[in-house]
Structure 1
Amino acid sequence: MRINLVLELLDSPGQLVKALEPISNYGANLVTVIHKRDYKNDNGNVPVQLTIEGEHEDLKSIVSKYGELGFSIIEMDGVVLKEKITTIFFGHIVDQDLRDTMDRINELEGVVIVAFDIKLNGEEKSTALINIEADIGRKQAVFNRIAEIAEEKDLLVINEV
Structure 2
Amino acid sequence: MKMNLVLELLDSPGQLLRILEPISTFGANLVTVIHKRDYKNENGKVPVQLTLEGEQAELTGLINKFEELGFSVLEMDGVIRKEKITTILFGDIVDQNLRDTMDRVNALEGVVIIGFDIKLNGEEESTALINIEADIGKKQMVFDKIAEIAEEKNLLVINEV
TM-score range for the pair, normalised by the shorter chain length: over 0.9
Which runs of structure 2 are paired with 1:68-107 in the superposition (5 Å)?
A: 68-107=68-107
Aligned partner of 2:37 in structure 1 is 37
Q: Which amino acid letter does the alignment assign opposite residue 152 of structure 2? A: E
Q: Which amino acid letter does the alignment assign opposite residue 117 of structure 2? A: D
Cα distance in structure 2, aligned partners of 1:108 and 1:123: 30
SS of alignment partner, residue 150 of structure 1: helix
Cα deviations across residues 96-153 of structure 1 (Å, max 9, x unaligned)? Answer: 1101111111100000000000000121310000000000011010000010011111
Q: Which amino acid letter does the alignment assign opposite residue 90 of structure 1? A: F
Aligned partner of 1:111 in structure 2 is 111
TM-score normalised by structure 1 residue count: 0.98
Alignment size in residue pairs: 161
Pair 1:53 & 2:53 matched: yes
Aligned partner of 2:10 in structure 1 is 10
SS of alignment partner, residue 120 of structure 1: strand
Say what the alpha-carbon RMSD is for the aligned residues: 0.7
User: How much has 1:57 moved relative to structure 2?
Assistant: 1.2
Cα distance in structure 2, aligned partners of 1:60 and 1:88: 36
Pair 1:19 & 2:19 matched: yes
Percent identical: 77
TM-score normalised by structure 2 residue count: 0.98
Aligned partner of 2:143 in structure 1 is 143
Aligned partner of 1:156 in structure 2 is 156
Structure 1 spans left out of the alignment, 5+ residues: none
Q: Which amino acid letter does the alignment assign opposite residue 153 of structure 1? A: K
SS of alignment partner, residue 95 of structure 1: helix
Structure 2 spans left out of the alignment, 5+ residues: none
Q: Which amino acid letter does the alignment assign opposite residue 34 of structure 2? A: I
